[in-house]
């Protein structure tokens, strides 16, 4: 199976670039499944229902969120109805929406995707390791489940890497989101799980993690609340990872995907 996961879409620049790229990449990379993180799609903060609809229409199978899940409140009734939109699994019981989605592809194969949020330098949620472990006791790679993809939405690369190793051999891939900076540590762990600490954002990299530079720099210098941060709106780089799995659902390949904007482009040969 061939899968693509795109990192945090940042504002209009990231959204438009991803909506244009998804159908092209689906064809070019012969993709079976596409996931995107869209917690920053709406002007840097949250996701609007119309934006989610546009991403599904462009060919996203699942959208993940993160700590910005609720920045646009209209998403609360939407997520209650839309099983293809997920938020972190380890939010308290009673939080709207689901932390995982089981998707049946057109050819009948099934993919499970789940998101957990880290706790280092982030909100003190339930344990991401124990919560994910509990989900995975109910879903195993095998004859009726062809791929399992985990999104670890976290700040610290140590926590992300530990999370990846903790589920090595039980899932097809563990990929990180949230930092908006792509890491170059794509690898397949010893028991067969593909891993990358952060997919990077889909957004304008002439920015401070996607937001306009001047206001972001001023916040660091003056240490006072200043201008509201707004997304940088130059050409976006579409950033993510391509993952290929074998018959057993474990990974045979993971490679970076970068397209457009300022970062050096790279696309896997398929
Ligand atoms: Fe985040
Ligand atoms: Fe983000």
Amino acid 58: pLDDT: 98
Nearest residue to 198 via CA among 149, 258, 251, 241: 241
**Residue 187 in tokens:** 């690898």
Residue with tokens 């879903």: 139
pLDDT at 123: 94
Residues with CB under 5 A from ligand 1 (ion): 66-67, 178
Q: Which of 172, 91, 163 is nearest to 129 (CA)?
A: 163
Query: Maximum distance among all alpha carbons in the chain?
Result: 57
Is the pLDDT at 245 greater than 80? The verdict is: yes
- What is the pLDDT, as a whole number, of residue 24? 98
Q: How far is the CA of 247 from the centre of ligand 1 (A)?
A: 33
Ligand nearest to the CA of 44: 2
**DSSP label at 217?**
H
Does 226 score more than 80 pLDDT? no
- On whether the CB atoms of residues 78 and 97 are closer than 8 A, the answer is no
Confidence at residue 6, expressed as pLDDT on a 0 to 100 scale: 98
Q: Give the whole-angstrom CA distance, residue 225 versus residue 227.
A: 7
Provide the pairing of β-strand 147-153 with 110-117.
parallel
Token code pair at residue 23: 């159908």
Strand partners, 64: 37, 86
Q: Which residues contact 52 (CB under 8 A, 6 or more apart)?
A: 38, 63, 75, 78, 82, 85
Angle between helices 49-58 and 11-28 (to 10 degrees): 20
Point out the residues that are catalytic: 68
Rounded distance from Cα 143 to ligand 1 centre (Å): 34
The helix/strand/coil state of 37 is strand
Asked if residues 115 and 84 have their Cβ atoms less than 8 Å apart, the reply is no
pLDDT at 227: 80
Mean pLDDT, to the nearest integer, of 248-254?
98
- Residue 143 predicted with pLDDT over 80: yes
Ligand 1 centre to CA of 68 (Å) is 6
Half-sphere exposure of 223 (CA within 13 A, CB side): 0
Which of the four pLDDT bands, split at 50, 70 and 90, describes residue 237? very high
Q: Would you place residue 72 in the very low, low, confident or very high pLDDT band (cuts 50, 70, 90)? A: very high
Ligand index nearest the alpha carbon of residue 45: 2
What's the rounded mean pLDDT across residues 147-160? 98
The sheet with strand 100-104 has its strands ordered as: 100-104, 110-117, 147-153, 173-177, 194-196, 187-188
- Ligand 1 centroid–CA 115 distance in Å is 12
Does 186 score more than 90 pLDDT? yes
Instruction: List, in order, residues 6 or more apart from 162 with CB less than 8 Å away.
Output: 129
Residue that wins the pLDDT comparison between 226 and 15:
15
For residue 69, how far is its CA from the centre of ligand 1 (angstroms)? 8
pLDDT class of 152 with cuts at 50, 70, 90: very high
Ligand 2 center–CA 178 separation, angstroms: 4
Q: Is 158 in contact with 175 (CB distance < 8 Å)?
A: no
For residue 108, pLDDT over 80 is answered with yes
With a cut of 90, say whether residue 228 has pLDDT above it.
no
**Averaged over 105-122, what is the pLDDT?**
97
Report how far ligand 1's centroid is from the alpha carbon of 178 (Å): 4
- Each residue of 155-185: pLDDT tens digit? 999 999 999 999 999 999 999 999 999 999 9
Ligand that lies nearest to the alpha carbon of residue 10, given by its number in the listed order: 2
Contact 38, 84 (CB under 8 A): no
Report the range of poorest mean pLDDT among 18-22, 226-230, 252-256: 226-230
Specify the pLDDT at position 223: 80
Q: Kindly identify the ligand whose nearest atom is closest to the C-alpha of 42.
A: 2
């Amino acid at each position: 199976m061939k899968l693509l996961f795109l990192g945090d879409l940042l504002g209009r620049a990231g959204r438009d670039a991803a909506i244009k790229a998804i159908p092209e990449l689906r064809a070019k990379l012969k993709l079976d499944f596409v996931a995107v993180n869209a917690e920053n799609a709406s002007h840097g903060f949250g996701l609007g229902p119309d934006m989610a609809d546009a991403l599904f229409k462009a060919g996203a199978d699942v959208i993940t969120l993160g700590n910005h899940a609720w920045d646009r409140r209209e998403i609360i009734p939407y997520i209650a109805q839309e099983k293809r939109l997920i938020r972190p699994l380890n939010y308290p019981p009673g939080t709207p929406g689901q932390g995982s989605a089981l998707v049946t592809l057109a050819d009948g194969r099934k993919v499970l995707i789940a998101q957990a949020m880290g706790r280092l330098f982030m909100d003190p949620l339930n344990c991401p390791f124990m919560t994910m472990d509990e989900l995975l006791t109910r879903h195993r790679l095998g004859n009726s489940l062809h791929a399992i993809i985990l999104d670890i939405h976290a700040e610290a690369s140590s926590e992300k890497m530990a999370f990846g190793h903790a589920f090595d051999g039980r899932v097809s891939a563990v990929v990180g989101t949230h930092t908006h900076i792509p890491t170059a540590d794509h690898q397949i762990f010893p028991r067969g799980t593909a891993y990358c600490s952060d997919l990077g954002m889909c957004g304008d990299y002439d920015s401070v993690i996607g937001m306009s530079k001047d206001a972001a720099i001023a916040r660091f210098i003056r240490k006072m609340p200043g201008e509201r941060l707004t997304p940088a709106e130059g050409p976006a780089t579409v950033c993510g990872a391509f993952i290929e799995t074998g018959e057993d659902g474990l990974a045979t390949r993971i490679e970076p995907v970068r397209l457009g904007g300022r970062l050096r482009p790279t696309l896997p040969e398929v």
